[in-house]
Structure 1
Amino acid sequence: MPTNEKQQSSQLVRGFEPYKETKGEEYMGKPMRAHFTELLNKWKQELMVSVDQTVDHMKDEAANFPDPADRASQEEEFALELRNRDRERKLIKKIDKTLQLIQDNEYGWCENCGIEIGVRRLEARPTADLCIDCKTLAEIKEKQVGKA
């Protein structure tokens, strides 16, 4: 897999085609909502498979090493895997929230200002709930508060 694809696969669902809008199509009409529902469900499924693989890996690799350095290395590896799985668990919750927004016909509009988030932004970040302008402002405020 080329480096660029490898980097994108962590954020995007593998093998998923971008949405192709038709001329005059209503924003977040039924076909568009169906596309994002499918994309989010596939992404969620990939994350759940990853969680299952981690559990299996930890069961298979668990060993009681007599050497403290080996034991520490294994514990560090498991701790890293568990942190990653925790992030994925939180992402699965966010995906579920987003799927509910689609069902409620509230998906695709900025939570702050109410404008369209945009298909391309949602393709890049399907769980986005802010338009790019509001997200940029939120990040600037976050940086300012962080420096205080």
Structure 2
Amino acid sequence: MKHDIFSAEQLGKIKLVIIKAIDATKERIRNYDVSVCERDGYDQIDRANLEYDRNQNIILKNRDTIQLRSLETALVKIEQDPEDFGYCNSCGIEISLNRLFARPDSCYCLECMRIIEIKGKSNRLDACIN
């Protein structure tokens, strides 16, 4: 089916961006070294640094795993349902082509994403105050 906004060529380019992003994310996940060994003889500062590095790697790996799922979902959508790809999940308008090239797994237009982020910050502030 023909997309209302994007040409087949544009969708193909976005699909390539998604595939490259998936490959890069998988490579980063493979490279995280969450099994940094503690060795006898390290002083407390060295052990603390190792623990900090390990925790950072776990956080980054988790973030990339979530990103990978999002990219894979976008790939499935652009392959199986291309006529619905690229529209905001909140307001239904088309997501800009520039945004999709920058963040091909975007589910929201910039305006809706700003609103979501503002509400999220507001909720976090409320949680901290209460």
**TM bucket normalised to smaller:** 0.7 to 0.9
Could you report, residue by residue, the CA deviation over 1:11-31 in whole angstroms, capped at 9, with x for unpaired residues? xxxxxxxxxxxxxx9623321
Residue of structure 2 equivalent to 1:51: 29
Larger RCO, structures 1/2 (Cα 8 Å, 6+ apart): 2
Residue of structure 1 equivalent to 2:74: 98
Residue of structure 2 equivalent to 1:4: none
The structure-2 alpha-carbon separation of the partners of 1:120 and 1:74, relative to structure 1 and needing over 3 Å to count, comes to same
Residue of structure 2 equivalent to 1:65: 40
> How high is the TM-score relative to the length of structure 1?
0.71
Are the equivalent residues in 2 in contact too, given 1:122–1:128 (CA < 8 A)?
yes
Residue of structure 2 equivalent to 1:34: 12
Give 1:5-16 correspondences, 5 Å limit.
none
Matched residue pairs, number? 121
C-alpha displacement of 1:70? 1.8
Consecutive unaligned residues of structure 2, counting only runs of 5 or more, are none
Determine the C-alpha separation between the residues in 1 that align with 2:54 and 2:121. 32
Stretch of structure 1 that moved more, 81-90 or 133-142: 133-142
Are 1:141 and 2:119 counterparts? Answer: yes
Residue of structure 2 equivalent to 1:79: 55
C-alpha displacement of 1:63? 4.0
Q: Quote the sequence identity (%).
A: 23
Residue of structure 1 equivalent to 2:65: 89
Residue of structure 2 equivalent to 1:115: 93
The structure-2 alpha-carbon separation of the partners of 1:53 and 1:28, relative to structure 1 and needing over 3 Å to count, comes to same
Letter in 1 for 2:31: Q
Determine the C-alpha separation between the residues in 2 that align with 1:40 and 1:131. 18
Letter in 1 for 2:114: T
Letter in 1 for 2:7: G
> How high is the TM-score relative to the length of structure 2?
0.79
C-alpha displacement of 1:139? 2.4
Letter in 2 for 1:130: Y
Coordinate RMSD, CA, aligned: 2.1
Deviating above 6 A after TM superposition, structure 1's stretches of 4 or more consecutive aligned residues are none
Letter in 2 for 1:64: R
